[in-house]
Amino acid sequence: MSLEKLKRIDENRLEVPKDYKEGMRTNGIIYVDSILEKELESGSIEQVANVATLPGIVGASMAMPDVHTGYGFPIGGVAAFDLKEGIISPGGVGYDINCGVRLLRSNLKKSFVLLRIKELIDVLYNNIPSGVGSKGKIRLGPDDEEKVLLKGARWAVDKGFGDASDLERIESGGCMDGADPSIISSKAYERGRAQQGTLGSGNHFLEVQYVDEIYDEKTANALGLFKDHITVMIHTGSRGFGHQVCTDFLEVMSRAVRKYGIVLPDRELACAPFNSSEAKDYFASMKAAANYAWANRQCLMHWTREVFMSVFKIPPSELGLTLIYDVAHNIAKIEEHIVNGQKKKLVVHRKGSTRAFPPGHPELPAVYKNLGQPVLIPGDMGRASFVLIGTEKAMKETFGSTCHGAGRVMSRHQAIRQAKGRAIWREMEDMGIIVRAAGRETLAEEMSEAYKDISNVVDVVHNAGISKKVAKLKPIGVIKG
């Protein structure tokens, strides 16, 4: 791969200049250091450049250090568009709408939980529906189907899955206003009916971890994180429902491209002017899928709490398994940002990237107003995950965005070939990590070698100042789909 046209801005950023390819309206910026630069795919660079050709783009077309090739937009991509001149694109959100992460802290110490870790993981595995096409304990009737899409995590709390206080620690309060259930296809409803309250497959997981290292003690303690205490991380999204919404609207957007005469370097960038009827319908449907995902993670968290209480026979007050935060990383949102010294509303696409809002931001919950937004960055199941905090620099440079995970370096097929003849679960157990999964192929696809080293990825965003390291979490038990 030739990197000749790329220009290094500083030790953490590469520029994809406007003359990289014909039609670019702005430059691209990729957050990588010299280590991760070696793992850059030519395809993801091309996609950063392609996004820069889209109408109404404001600022640079950006990619975070976990960047890899996706559908249309790169995974790890961030792009903001003017509400009048710009567009919205399903490829800039992704198929798994509002795939996201939530993190729980606890009063339990690692030494205490390790005594019964196998039992805990077995009971979690039996109580958290996972795997391809998994069906949950919840069956949505017609009335609840609409309420989930309109109310998100609020619906789950109303049904007894958690407490109202949980909602204060979820991005957007666990619900985006403006969802329209009436424009959702019957196929999307069909796929979503039995999948509410399920983990799913692929890179989705539920992980029991412990706080291994603290970088910012004051912030960590304010979040309820203490060395060697147990945490739980849940990573999943809108499941087949969101996938179908994306599929449905890619067809709609393909027609819109022709209707509005939009010239694209890649048909996967299918989009529509933000003020068009097609865009409004997609945005309202995307919000419905986002709300489905927040309800999903809320239900999974509730059952996780129940499992911990049943296994350890301790009351909720002693357990202290409470939500730190829940962040989305496949979503588009209307936000206010400073552009050329003036406040401007933009539609910000984050695909495999997450918000990193600073202290004082009006969208932060009261509990984090003076602290900044907790940023949750999961790694692969064999290494670590990180908690960071949002910064003012992110608001100035990346529309308040940072990375969302480690980022793949192998395709799933490559990983399966690489793992042939190996017992990944045994390798994990030798490392002190108990793993349960629906199938051997899932573990092969998700083995550590298939991903970039999360420590390298997090170091880039930390050193660039777009989010600051707070704590490192290491796994001791993992449930994969």
Question: CA-to-CA distance for 80 and 421, rounded, in angstroms?
Answer: 45
**Of 87, 93, 83, which is closest to residue 176 (Cα–Cα)?**
93
Question: CA-to-CA distance for 241 and 202, rounded, in angstroms?
Answer: 16
Question: CA-to-CA distance for 350 and 305, rounded, in angstroms?
Answer: 30
Give the count of beta carbons closer than 10 Å to the beta carbon of residue 164: 9
User: Rg of the Cα trace of the chain?
Assistant: 21
Q: 3-class DSSP state for residue 404?
A: coil
Residue 226 phi/psi, 5° resolution? -135, 145
Residue 345 phi/psi, 5° resolution? -85, 130
Residues annotated as part of the active site: 404
Q: 3-class DSSP state for residue 462?
A: helix
What is the Cα 374 distance to its own chain's centre? Answer: 13
Q: Checking DSSP bridges between strand 342-351 and strand 229-236, what pairing results, if any? A: unpaired
Q: Does the CA dihedral 183-187-190-195 come out positive or negative?
A: negative
Residue 399 phi/psi, 5° resolution? 55, 40
Instruction: Give the largest CA-CA distance in the chain.
Output: 64
**Of 476, 155, 100, 103, which is closest to residue 322 (Cα–Cα)?**
103
